[in-house]
Structure formats: C-alpha cells, structure tokens
Amino acid sequence: MSPEARAFAGDQVPPGPKPIPDEKSVPELEPADTWTLVEASAEDGDAAGVTAEPDPEANPEPAHPHVAVSSGPPHVLIIGGGGTGGALAHDLVLRGLRVTLVERGEVTSGATGRHHGLLHSGARYVTTDRAAAVECVVENKLLRRIAPGSLEENDGLFVALTDEDAEFEKQFTEACWQCALPNKRLTRDEALRLEPGLNPGLLFAIQVPDATMDAMRLPLRFFATARRNGADVRPFTEVVGITTSGRTVTGAKVRDIASGREYEIGADVVVNAAGPWVGRVAGLAGVKVGVTLSPGVLLAVAGRRCNMVVNRLHPPGDGDIVVPQRGRTILGTTSWIADDPAEPVIPTGHVETILRETSALLPGLAQAEILARWTAVRPLVTSTAGRGRGPAREIECIDHAADRKPTDGLVTIAGGKATTMRAMAEAAANTVCAKLGVDEPCRTGEVVLLPHTAWYNA
Amino acid sequence: MSPRKPKPPAVPAEEPLAEGLAAPAEVPPAVPPAVPAEEPLAESVAPRAEGPTFRVSRRRAGDDRAHFDEFRVAVGREDTVLDALIAIRETKDPSLVIRHSCMHGSCGTCGMRINGREALACDTKVASLRAGPITVEPVANQRLVADLATDMVDFYARFEAAGLPLVRDAEKSPGRPGPAGMLAFERLENCIECGLCLSACPIARANHDYIGPAALAAAARVVEEPRGRDLGPVRALAGEHDSVWSCRDAMECSAVCPAGVDPARAILTLRRHLAANGARRLFGRGD
C-alpha cells in the first residue's frame, strides 16, 4: 500500500471531534487589489420577510458580451442549482468572476438531493469505467478535506455471496490497486463483526473507503460558501428563454415563480448545468445536447440496518447498494431509459428487484417497512452512452462555440455523478475562464467549505 | 459563542394560539404498515380515477393573507403528499412554490402542516390520511417565501447557536470493535432541521423570542456528547430567558418530530443538567 493510499483508508481517522469550519475559516480571499469581489445580493435586510423582488439592475447587461470589460469582472449566469451548479458558482467567484445562479425550485431539488448519499470510493466503477473510478478516488479524498463534518466516514464493504462473486474478487481488487484505491479483504467473521446484519452465509468482503454523505447538506455548503463570497443565488427562478444576439447567447429570460414576474439577466457566458434538464435548456438556445436520461429507483426503509455502505461484490447491477442515512437505510438502485426528466413513474417490478437483491446482502431488509420510494434521473452523455450503467457517466463539458453550427456564449456541463460534482464544476469553470481570457487557477480543491447552516445566514 | 437573537418572524402567525393547541389528535399514525410483498405493486402507474382534493395554502409577496386553492390530482397507492404536490406543480399550476430535496425524510425541507398537523410531505402517504379534502399549509413560526415554502433563517439562527455538529460519534455496540483504527462508527445527527417542532410548539407561537425545541435538543446533544467542548456557552444559552425554562411541556415537538429526536425529553434532560450543575456550583464544585 502506498503512503498516499494508506492515508486514504479508514485507519487514520483521528480520535475526537472533527474540526467544523466556523465563520473565521471562511475561505480567505485575497485582498481586494488582486480579487474583485462581487457585491452581495440585495436580498438581505428584506423587511417584508417575503423574498425580495429580484433586482434586474443587479446584473446590468454587459456592454460588450464576451469581452472582459475593464469596469468589472465578467458575469456568468449558471442555470441549475444542483451540486454541479453550486460548486461551479463557488469555483467562479473564487476566480474573481461575478456569478448569478438560477434554479427553478429549491436548490438541490433535482437529481442532487435525490441521490443515495453514497460518496463513492470509486470501487463500484473500477472494472467498468476506470476513468470514472479514478475521478471518484480523487474527489472522495478531496471532499473529505473540504467538507469535513458532512460525511459518515465509515468505509464500505463489497460482499461476496456466491462463487461467482468470489471469482470476481481478483479482477476487482487488481483494478482497485490500479486505480490507487486501497482495499482490504475481510474474512466472513471479520465482516460480520463489523456489520452483524450481513447475510451470515457470506464468503468474504472487501473493505473500501466508501462513505455516506448528506445528499442535500454537503452540496449546500458549496452554495453557502459561494454566496458568502458574492455569488447571487436565486432559487424559485425558472429560465423561460435564452436571449441571443445573432448566434451569440447574451443571457436568459427568467420567471420569478413566486411573483410571476419575468425579467432578463445578461451574462458574458451562460452555463447550462441543469442536470437531467440540460437538453431542455440547450433547446431554448437552439442547441442540441446529447444526453440520455436514465432514471433509477431508490427506497428508504425504516431502521439503520448498517453503519457502513454495503455493496455486492460483482459488476454494477440492480439493487446492489445499501447506504445508511441517520435512522433509515437507503436501497438502490435500478436503471432504465426515459424521455422526460420530470418525475418518472416507477416501473412495475423495480421495488421488488431492489428488495430482493439488497436483502440477499442484509436479510433483515426483506421485512423492513418501506418509508419512501422515489426516482432520480441520471443525465448520461449520449456521445458515450451505452446502457444506463455502462462506461458512459463521465463528465462532458461542451463549449457550443465549437459546435458544427457554432453558438457562442453558452457552455453545457453534463454527465458525472454526485461524488464528482466539484470536478464537473472545475471542468466547466476552466472552459468558462478560457473563453473569457481569465487566467486564474481553480482553488476549490483547497478551500474548506462553510458549514451548511451558513446557507441560511449567508 | 454569542447566540444571535432570532429576528421575529416577519409574517405573523395567522392563527390564534388556540388553534395550535387544538391540533387534531385523530390523525392516523405516520407509519402505515409495510406493503405485503406478494401484492402486485401499482406504484403510480394506476392512479385512483379522480384522486382527492388538495386545499393548498397560497400566499405571495404583497398578499395580505393566505387563501386556499383547490386541486384534484390522481395519486397512486404509495404516493406521498409531496408526490401529489409535485404533480400539482407539474400538471396543474407551475407557480406553486414548494421546497423539497431528498424525497425520503433525510433533508427536512418539505415540512408543512397537513390537515393541521406538522409532518414531512415526503413521509406522509396520501392513503394514510382521512377521507375528504387534504389541507396543506406552510409550517408556522417561520418566515414565508411563498405558498408552502418557508425561509428557515430564524430556525437556523436559533439552531446554530447550540453549536451542534452534523456528525455525531457512533453508537458503538459494546464489545464490538470499530473498523480498523476507527474508534467507532460515526453517524449523522438525527435532527434533520425541518422546523416541524418549532411550528408545533405552542410556546413558540406565543413568544417569538423562545429559542424553541430543536435548538434546545441540539444543546442537549452537545451536553450529552461534549467531545471535549467547553459547556459554558451551551449552559448559558439554555439558562437564558426564553430558553429551557420557558417550555411548558406541551410535548407537541416530540409528537411531530419525524426523526425521533424527542426534543421534549431533551429539554427535561437539559433542565436536570442545569439544575445539577447549579447545585454543584453552589457548593463550589461546579465547572
């Protein structure tokens, strides 16, 4: 095991409380002479207690789109308030840009909040998608550094139940090592000591550095930190049109859902980070984005059935993930292809499949009371999309100026997974900065995020 | 630690105190029985022909008070009130403002009052509610964004003052080792910060300065698991005016808590702790 890998494994968790960043550890920005900060949104001090009418003056139309005018830093409009959008807002304000983010619902109300909360170690993908696995390895380590206190760092198990599972071990562990992913073989008894609820008929288990995250509160820390640093985040604001000048995107027309008022937001670059809705948003600009919508079903059952993430030791399949969340246990998932990003209907049989497969891992699940069943839609990039879980979930960042029929001023970020939200944001921010001639490095890998509670007083 | 005094809610509670106290007791238990596995699952594929009527509280910036809009929406046997509200937004009225995120009772954003009782919309199956129109209103004692969405700023101003970390040390089973090198498994705190307790609390309705059940439960957790922290500030917070001694044991907070936090019991624990510490100090042995 390399020192790097050893530092990753669960055996270095220090005793005692984890440091939670407080107001004083707000990511320190350089002095104003090198970093121009955006003015905070005017929503604070709203005496009426009802959300302020967004002030269109706050984002004046840039004088010369796509030119970083000397009067102020360029303005980027992000469409979509999921984990990627939040991390992107955080990334761009750290690089000195002005940022407005619009989201039609509450932030994290789309695919982000609905994911199972598994911070992937990467092990799930080592045999099917090495690039995705390596990205998870990197981001898993990184999120532990920048979001301490939002994770249950209890590791995960890949459990072998059958001879077929056992035969998969060699391929699996070799692939893990090739991805610098630490792993440890546990005997049946060792595994049962850690997780007594496991199927006593298990053969052995492989321990990996999976973790549990709070699916809403960890991404919320990106939003909280971005807003504290000047990003203007506007939930309940839906994009109804993309404004253009010729073949250049100049901003968006949005509707404040609460008031029904429509107004325009001008931007030097618009980033389409709408997750499953990226195709819809791109369509508003007359641009095509190839995404395949692949929903999955998830269940929450009563009781905390395990403390570690429990996976089946086999190539990724249906119903092979069990994630503890507080006093509940999340079971996932399935995969199919849908046309519509909004609220797919749960297909007949999926709930039973998940229960059958997961209760093979933890037999107690068979009798567990189902508290919730829901779907989350994975936006897969079509250029590489095969079936729902194939080697297709990498990040794709598209500068539409490079399309066959070029459209300038619009960038789409698609693909990825919750574990890689920060990496997706970095890719998008790099593209945006290159377009705008901004030469600032990404700093989101180092800056410790504010706690999620800061979202409510930022 | 200097707890920020919560700002008074800008949107006053509309109901007189009495209504909060007279919350219907006949609401069926929030936990319906599990689905028998052999029964073919219709899910939302085969909705009821017409579906129940939802009376949804609507209020916008500039409105003097809320009014109710009625929607009929088809629901599947397993659908929750949140599923129905999302369906209303997607198919009937896109201007409906609701908060939601995780869909399974972990995030706490979809807290509201359903037939007068505080509950998570994602945790309340439509089929578990009594027949007749289903009334849905925002939680009380918090600022309104619009319709069913509240701004949790006052809740967090109180909650944060207790300084509770999100992750707690594990419930380590005695005699069982943790994973190699780990002292114990860790887990997220039970409280999902939904604000239902603050909405249901009759004291919070009458006294907007009362710190409320969630913050006191958080303070009790800090006292219970200090992890080396100085307990002085938490004790000071709990001992303040409008804090732990303002509670009148209505127990509504524990009745509506969707996460088993039991704030009422936590408040009693905190009182005992304060009393015991006060007694020790009286005899010069306090800390």
Range B42-150 classified under CATH 3.30.2010.10 = no
- How far A300 CA sits from the closest chain B CA (Å)? 6
A32 domain-assigned: no
Mean pLDDT (whole number) for B247-264? 95
pLDDT at B38: 40
Asked which of A355, A378, A401 is the last residue of a domain, the reply is A378
Residue range of the domain that includes A161: 154-210+292-378
Which residues between 278 and 297 in chain A have a beta carbon less than 8 angstroms from any beta carbon of chain B?
none
Which residues between 87 and 106 in chain A have a beta carbon less than 8 angstroms from any beta carbon of chain B?
105-106
Confidence band (pLDDT; 50, 70, 90) for A37?
very low
> Nearest residue of A to residue B159 by CA position?
A453
Q: At residue A51, does pLDDT exceed 70?
A: no
Q: From CA B76, how far away is CA B44, in angstroms rounded?
A: 4
Q: Are residues A218 and A360 in the same domain?
A: no
The answer to whether A329 touches A298, Cβ cutoff 8 Å, is no
Confidence band (pLDDT; 50, 70, 90) for A383?
low
Substitution target from B106, B171, B172 for chain A, most A beta carbons within 10 A = B106
Q: At residue B44, does pLDDT exceed 90?
A: no
**Residue A32 neighbours by CB distance under 10 Å:** 8
CB contact under 8 A, A369 and B188: no
CB contact under 8 A, A51 and B98: no
CATH number at residue A175: 3.30.9.10
Nearest to A198 by CA among A158, A154, A151: A158
Q: At residue A41, does pLDDT exceed 70?
A: no
Q: Are residues A192 and A307 in the same domain?
A: yes
A442 domain-assigned: yes
Q: At residue B282, does pLDDT exceed 60?
A: yes
Of the options 3.30.365.10, 3.40.50.620, 1.10.1060.10, 3.40.920.10, the CATH number for the domain spanning B153-282: 1.10.1060.10
A57 domain-assigned: no
pLDDT at B32: 41
Q: Are residues A355 and A425 in the same domain?
A: no
Q: From CA A165, how far away is CA A158, in angstroms rounded?
A: 10
Confidence band (pLDDT; 50, 70, 90) for A394?
confident
Mind listing the pLDDT tens digit for each residue in B147-178? Answer: 999 999 999 998 888 888 887 654 444 444 44
Q: Are residues A206 and A306 in the same domain?
A: yes
Mean pLDDT of chain B: 81
Confidence band (pLDDT; 50, 70, 90) for B9?
very low
Q: At residue A65, does pLDDT exceed 80?
A: no
What count of residues does chain A have? 458
A103 domain-assigned: yes
Q: Are residues A184 and A331 in the same domain?
A: yes
A456 domain-assigned: yes
Q: How many domains does chain A have?
A: 2
Mean pLDDT (whole number) for A174-180? 96
Confidence band (pLDDT; 50, 70, 90) for A150?
very high
The H or E element that residue B151 is part of is strand B149-151
Look at residue A379 and give its three-state secondary structure: strand
A140 domain-assigned: no
Q: At residue A313, does pLDDT exceed 90?
A: yes
Q: From CA A347, how far away is CA B34, in angstroms rounded?
A: 19
Q: Are residues A418 and A348 in the same domain?
A: no
Mean pLDDT of chain A: 85
Q: At residue A5, does pLDDT exceed 60?
A: no
CATH number at residue A222: 3.50.50.60
Residue found by looking up tokens 């030469």 in the block: A439
Q: Are residues A247 and A282 in the same domain?
A: yes
Residues of A in contact with B40 (CB under 8 A): 348
Instruction: Pick the more confident residue, A49 or A450.
Output: A450
Q: Are residues A88 and A197 in the same domain?
A: no
Q: From CA A274, how far away is CA A413, in angstroms rounded?
A: 8
Hey, where are the domains in chain B? Answer: 42-150, 153-282
pLDDT at A446: 96
Confidence band (pLDDT; 50, 70, 90) for B285?
low
Which residues between 386 and 445 in chain A have a beta carbon less than 8 angstroms from any beta carbon of chain B?
none
CB contact under 8 A, A216 and B102: yes
Q: Are residues A284 and A386 in the same domain?
A: yes
Q: At residue B33, does pLDDT exceed 90?
A: no
Which residues between 216 and 275 in chain A have a beta carbon less than 8 angstroms from any beta carbon of chain B?
216-217, 236, 238, 257-260
ipTM: 0.84
CB contact under 8 A, A11 and B159: no
Confidence band (pLDDT; 50, 70, 90) for A297?
very high
Given CB atoms, is B14 within the 8 Å cutoff of chain A?
no
Q: Are residues A199 and A229 in the same domain?
A: no
Instruction: Pick the more confident residue, B270 or B50.
Output: B270
pLDDT at A458: 55
- How far B96 CA sits from the closest chain A CA (Å)? 8
Instruction: Pick the more confident residue, A88 or B282.
Output: A88
Mind listing the pLDDT tens digit for each residue in A87-120? Answer: 999 999 999 999 999 999 999 999 999 999 999 9
Mean pLDDT (whole number) for B230-251? 91
**DSSP string over A20-81:** PP-GGGS-PPPPTTT-PPPPPPTTTT-TTSSPPPP-GGGSPPPSSTTS--TTS--EEEEE--
Q: At residue B121, does pLDDT exceed 50?
A: yes
CA torsion through residues A339, A343, A348, A352, sign = positive
A422 domain-assigned: yes
Asked which of A378, A396, A424 is the last residue of a domain, the reply is A378
Look at residue B114 and give its three-state secondary structure: strand
Given CB atoms, is B228 within the 8 Å cutoff of chain A?
yes
Q: Are residues A306 and A450 in the same domain?
A: no
**Residue B70 neighbours by CB distance under 10 Å:** 10
Measured between CB atoms, which of A48, A215, A258 is closest to B106? A215
Residues of B in contact with A15 (CB under 8 A): 183
pLDDT at B61: 84
Q: At residue B214, does pLDDT exceed 90?
A: yes
Q: Which two tokens stand for residue A412?
A: 């789409």
Q: From CA A232, how far away is CA A216, in angstroms rounded?
A: 19
Mind listing the pLDDT tens digit for each residue in A262-293? Answer: 999 999 999 999 999 999 999 999 999 988 99
Look at residue A10 and give its three-state secondary structure: helix
Mean pLDDT (whole number) for B250-258? 96
Which percentage of chain A shows pLDDT scores above 90?
A: 75
Mean pLDDT (whole number) for A329-347? 92
**Residue A51 neighbours by CB distance under 10 Å:** 24
Residues of B in contact with A328 (CB under 8 A): 104-106
Q: From CA A254, how far away is CA A378, in angstroms rounded?
A: 25
Q: Are residues A274 and A412 in the same domain?
A: yes
pLDDT at B12: 40
